[in-house]
Homo-oligomer: A and B are copies of this chain.
């Protein structure tokens, strides 16, 4: 049972294959009568457009890829899940490509990947979404992309969280619990989100008339280990902070471990919270208070936006450079790692 081709459909419907092509691509300028005939023939023959034929003729695959180098498995899995959902709905395949942010040959490797697969769109996850050389290379090759994260040097479209509100809300919550000595673990210095979150945190302190203490700010890199290291630093201060706010959950988990390994009771002696709401927050004891980053939905929207852009580029005239960015709100999720300071 060979699958039907456009030729079979044309024969069946008694039209030219160009007309079939018009129908399956939803082009204008087809009489209703023709369209109906073709549609019937498509159903009768069980025709499915062969993506490879189209790809070759158009010189674009309509396949997209997720480009990652993210140190947090929980973060990535959620994002990936959403993206995959979007791709499946749009009947698209999703390629995966894992790269090394610091590799010298990063650009060359990605170009090779493009050659090998002929993908024509990328979803760029952090931190790779903030790599200017990469974005410029993609612009040059005219490969579409969408970034997961905040606006960055006006490059491309993006889908992201309202990072400022996220950290502002978390910090405000800690302050409501009466914490004043709040340690803060910053994000990766190469990522745009780090600065926005830090600004949100500081704003919350200012708005509540709490003095910002520089020595309660520790550098992190969004990894578990960096959270652990930052906590080691902060927990050595006297007086000790009564709360530590890590700017993502992966680091918050590291903070929790470090505290526990020192016999510090969480939340009784130390409150801890993060941002993202990845799966590890509900797998450690106690469960970590965090801010929900709707990653599944963000991934989904990113995929849909990108795919629609690709499809539009193909059908109609280019529609200008209007950008369809989307910024999501999350919400505070209170769990067991935070407590009122007596």
Contacts and interface: CB of A to CB of B under 8 A. Distances in A.
Nearest to A87: B96
A118 B285 contact: no
A96 B73 contact: no
12 contacts: A48-B115, A48-B116, A53-B56, A63-B117, A73-B77, A84-B96, A84-B98, A88-B97, A88-B98, A93-B117, A253-B283, A283-B284
Interface stretch (A10-18, A179-187, A229-237, A256-264): A256-264
B257 A51 contact: no
Q: Decide if the interface of chain A is mainly helix, strand, loop or mixed.
A: helix
A74 B109 CA distance: 26
Best-buried of A53, A63, A117 by chain B (most CB within 10 Å): A117
Interface of A: 3, 48, 50-53, 55-56, 61, 63, 65-66, 73-74, 76-77, 80-81, 84, 88, 91-98, 109, 112-113, 115-119, 224, 253-254, 256-257, 260-261, 279-280, 283-285
B285 A256 contact: yes
List the 8 closest A-B pairs by CB distance, nearest first.
A93-B117, A260-B285, A73-B77, A93-B95, A91-B116, A52-B56, A52-B55, A48-B115
Contacts of A73: 73-74, 77, 279
A279 to B, nearest CB: 6
Contacts of A109: 88
